[in-house]
Amino acid sequence: MASDAPATLPVQLAEQPRLLKLKKMFISKFGSAPKFYARAPGRVNLIGEHIDYCGYAVLPMAIEQDILIAVEPVKTQVVQLANTNPLYLDFSTSVNNIHVNKTKPVWHNYFLCGLKGVQEHFGLNSSTGMNCLLDGTIPPSSGLSSSSALVCCAGLVMLTANGKTLSKVELAEICTKSERYIGTEGGGMDQSISFLAEEGTAKLIEFSPLRATDVRLPSGAAFVIANSCVEMNKAATSHFNIRVMECRLATKLLSKSKGLEWEKMLKLQDVQAKLGVSLKKMLTIVEEVFHPEPYSVEEICTCLGISLEELRTQILSQNTQDVTTFKLYQRAKHVYSEAARVLEFKTICSEAPASAIQLLGELMNQSHISCRDMYECSCPELDQLVDICLQFGAIGSRLTGAGWGGCTVSMVPSDKLSTFLTNVKEAYYKSNDQRLALEKNSLFATKPGGGALVFLEA
């Protein structure tokens, strides 16, 4: 249940080779044994891209790949953090003086976001120090939410080490807010699925209030993740934050055109809710209100009846101050059409018609086209990979995650899975040495996995 706290499971380490290996590494690093282990999974979003921060429901599932942290609370008020991967350097800081450096999306800053979020929620003035060793199996910057899983896992670590409890929903909301310390204006999907996931089912995740509904995926189809091997670090780029702002500006202009209190409106879903109309009707309104050409900041000011100074200080975020044009028509059209596709996907899964796999595949394909053409968050490699997946038997294929690199997700009939994997490997990975080196962790079928939890040695 979403109202429950994350589970705490006693485990026999002898039966858990990864935990046992992590314990041995921890002892060799810190000279003592961990007291507990926290785990938070990555996720793949099946449909509903770039709409969570607009207030709309999304449809992800947790994957088996995760962030696992071994933890020993200590008497000193110092957090020592190490990683099993030598590419990620050790880090230590005072637990009561946590500073997240926004200018550098270094791995430990995501960890600090999780600590700080829980610390501030409880107003902890003297948190316990910790030795932590992290092991991650989610490919970084791949659109499978490695950074949010790290924030969530760190939040769970801080909570457990300090003897506090929170529900999964509360933790998801705290971790969503705290990731903003690093400058990522995400909408909450990644943190929500990391905590609310359950084995064997995808989830429709809705916001305000946060809730999750089981979505049973059709039998007879496998979901395959394929990494384009183009890394995208969303906090280090302005693309993501510009899209967030374009949606906010589209919200303001739509509200103004309909005589709503535009100053108070922040999300595209707010406009639909206030007007009380369908998503289909919102798409008609978008066609009526916006022109397809980009809007200059001057035109936006004229439409809203405000000065450039007011736009910059009251609406634009710090990292979009220098943007001179915004595409409002395309972004709003994507959001409202994608929100409708999510609901349709859920309905097809619930009703399970004979043609379910075909219908779901078509929705995934439409989603990719909209991400590519309207939201412009794809890249040539992702488009090539989607084409290859469709060519070799996928019924639907689309980018997943923020885009601009990262992964695709494809729905493949189960009886075609092994030839599909062989052919995609040949066509996309073997043609390029860099991709071939990464291929082992880049192409795999996945099932819906469970959410964040704590392991204790039995």
Query: What pLDDT, on a 0 to 100 scale, did the predictor assign at position 236?
Result: 44
Computed over every residue of the chain, the mean pLDDT equals 94
**Which one of the listed residues 52, 135, 190, 270 is annotated catalytic?**
190
Minimal CA–CA distance to 74: which of 123, 34, 39, 134?
A: 34
Query: What pLDDT, on a 0 to 100 scale, did the predictor assign at position 139?
Result: 85
CB distance 367 to 338 below 8 Å: yes
Query: What pLDDT, on a 0 to 100 scale, did the predictor assign at position 3?
Result: 75
| Share in percent of the chain as helix, strand, coil (round to 5) | 45, 20, 30
Query: What pLDDT, on a 0 to 100 scale, did the predictor assign at position 439?
Result: 65
Query: What pLDDT, on a 0 to 100 scale, did the predictor assign at position 234?
Result: 55
The CA distance from 335 to 270, in Å, is 13
Tokens in use for 396? 């639907």
pLDDT along the chain (458 residues), means of 10: 87 94 98 98 97 96 96 96 95 93 85 96 93 94 89 97 96 93 83 95 94 94 94 69 96 98 97 98 98 98 97 93 96 98 98 96 98 96 97 98 93 97 94 72 91 96
The CA distance from 425 to 140, in Å, is 20
CB distance 371 to 354 below 8 Å: no
Q: Is 190 a catalytic residue?
A: yes
> In a 10 Å sphere around its CB, with 0-12 CB exposed, 13-18 middle and 19+ buried, how is residue 316 labelled?
buried
Query: What pLDDT, on a 0 to 100 scale, did the predictor assign at position 186?
Result: 75
Query: What pLDDT, on a 0 to 100 scale, did the predictor assign at position 358?
Result: 97
